[in-house]
Amino acid sequence: MKLFSIAMAATFAVMPLVAMAQAPIVIKFSHVVALDTPKGKAAEYFKKLAEERTKGKVKVEVYANSALYKDKEEMEALQLGAVQMLAPSLAKFGPLGAKEFEVFDLPFVFDNTAELHKVTQGPVGQGLLKKLEPKGIVGLAYWDNGFKVMSANKPLKTVADFKGLKMRIQSSKVLDQQMRDLGAIPQVIAFSEVYQALQTGVVDGTENPPSNLYTQKMHEVQKFVTVSDHGYLGYAVIVNKKFWEGLPADIRTTLEGAMKDATVYANDIAKKENDDALEGVRKSGKTQIITLTADERKAWKKALAGVHREQQGRIGKETVEAVYKATGNDPSKL
Ligand code: LMR
């Protein structure tokens, strides 16, 4: 009996150790958009691959729709190690002090996805990710969303149509100047608060790719959407450097592989997700969709060329020129 209780006690004593050895490594992955978006779906896909390939040694907890943190807070949470992984929009890196990332906010900087990928999938993109390391962040990949539409309760066809409109933007000096040069008044508002700001008239309009507009139901409170493709919105998937470098090497390699495949998936679905979302807006019958003619788009582009010229010093001439060189497109010269 005595022997039996000693054996039992010994078993219980080692149990926490065994349990500890088997406890999975948890990656909290926080983001601000809906599940049914390119980023939302890619995050879920990464979770699936990471958990399958590490045979449960890693558990990825995805928190969508700003469930954990809003825009600015999530960056702080990552740096503090309260979450391990994020995929913030590229506009969110300027406020962090990585001003070079604001190159992605320049209006009309990419004419199409092929030009974008020359940057995000080439040396310029990789070089930009490296700039995050002194901030305690490792950049793993770029995930596409898409080209932005403009929305308001009046048709936006000419630059003059923007006059005096309060337009929601992300916190970016480049986007601020973009709206001012169109004659609008920019207002920085967290993504999770945009629907309400539009509904209550705190702002008159906004910009985002269709997938974000549709899944946040912004079209229900915006009568007109202009397909202008005037700018790009996409993401960098980032991790807390200390956490990432502290992972067992084999696990990190497996996760890198999962990220590589999730990135291919993200960039494969992004265009269709946005096309389908625009179709959803159209079908809702609540919003009229305006497509700019080539001449109308050119007039916007011309009105916004000054953003390139004036923001170059802030973003960094070297970065801006490297992007123009990679794309073969210099919209400052219009
Ligand atoms: C926004 O704030 O409009 C976007 O950054 C949201 C997102 O993450 O796509």
Q: Are residues 55 and 41 in the same domain?
A: yes
Q: Are residues 28 and 126 in the same domain?
A: yes
Q: Are residues 156 and 138 in the same domain?
A: no
Give the model confidence (pLDDT) of 10-27 as tens digits. 444 445 544 455 799 999
Closest protein CA for atom 1 of ligand 1: 191
Residue 105 lies in a domain: no
Nearest-atom index, ligand 1, CA of 91: 5
Nearest-atom index, ligand 1, CA of 71: 2
Which of 30, 31, 32, 78 to mutate for ligand 1's pocket (most ligand atoms within 8 Å of CB)? 32
What is the pLDDT, as a whole number, of residue 322? 98
Give the model confidence (pLDDT) of 181-239 as tens digits. 999 999 999 999 999 999 999 999 999 999 999 999 999 999 999 999 999 999 999 99
Give residue 227's domain range.
149-231+276-333
Q: What are the mean pLDDT values of the chain's consecutive 10-residue runs (334 residues total)?
A: 47 49 91 97 98 98 95 94 98 96 98 98 98 98 98 98 98 98 98 98 98 98 98 98 98 98 98 98 97 96 98 97 97 87
Residues 6+ apart with CB under 8 A from 193: 70
CA of 32 to the centre of ligand 1 (A): 7
Residue 209 lies in a domain: yes
CA of 205 to the centre of ligand 1 (A): 15
Is the sign of the CA dihedral 184, 189, 191, 197 positive or negative? Answer: negative
Residue 38 lies in a domain: yes
What is the pLDDT, as a whole number, of residue 20? 53
Q: Are residues 251 and 314 in the same domain?
A: no
CATH number at residue 159: 3.40.190.170
CA of 33 to the centre of ligand 1 (A): 7
Q: Are residues 190 and 211 in the same domain?
A: yes
Last residue of a domain, one of 215, 248, 270: 270
Q: Are residues 154 and 125 in the same domain?
A: no
Closest protein CA for atom 5 of ligand 1: 89
pTM: 0.93
Residue 288 lies in a domain: yes
Distance of CA 305 to the CA centre of its chain: 24
Residue 320 lies in a domain: yes
What is the pLDDT, as a whole number, of residue 21? 59
Q: Is 4 exposed, middle or buried (0-12, 13-18, 19+ CB in 10 A)?
A: exposed
Q: Are residues 326 and 281 in the same domain?
A: yes
Q: Are residues 300 and 202 in the same domain?
A: yes
Q: Are residues 181 and 249 in the same domain?
A: no
Ligand 1 site: residues with CB under 6 angstroms?
Answer: 32-33, 71, 89, 145, 170, 191, 208, 212
Cβ(243)–Cβ(137) under 8 Å?
no
- State the number of CA atoms in the 13 A half-sphere of 80 facing the CB: 7
Last residue of a domain, one of 270, 294, 323: 270
User: What's the number of domains the chain is made of?
Assistant: 2
Cα separation, 67 vs 229, whole angstroms: 29
Residue 104 lies in a domain: no
CA of 328 to the centre of ligand 1 (A): 27
Which of 68, 208, 215, 218 to mutate for ligand 1's pocket (most ligand atoms within 8 Å of CB)? 208
Residue 192 lies in a domain: yes
Nearest-atom index, ligand 1, CA of 92: 5
Q: Are residues 121 and 35 in the same domain?
A: yes
Q: Are residues 209 and 251 in the same domain?
A: no
Cα separation, 144 vs 236, whole angstroms: 9
Closest protein CA for atom 8 of ligand 1: 89
Q: Are residues 163 and 129 in the same domain?
A: no
CA of 172 to the centre of ligand 1 (A): 12
Residue 185 lies in a domain: yes
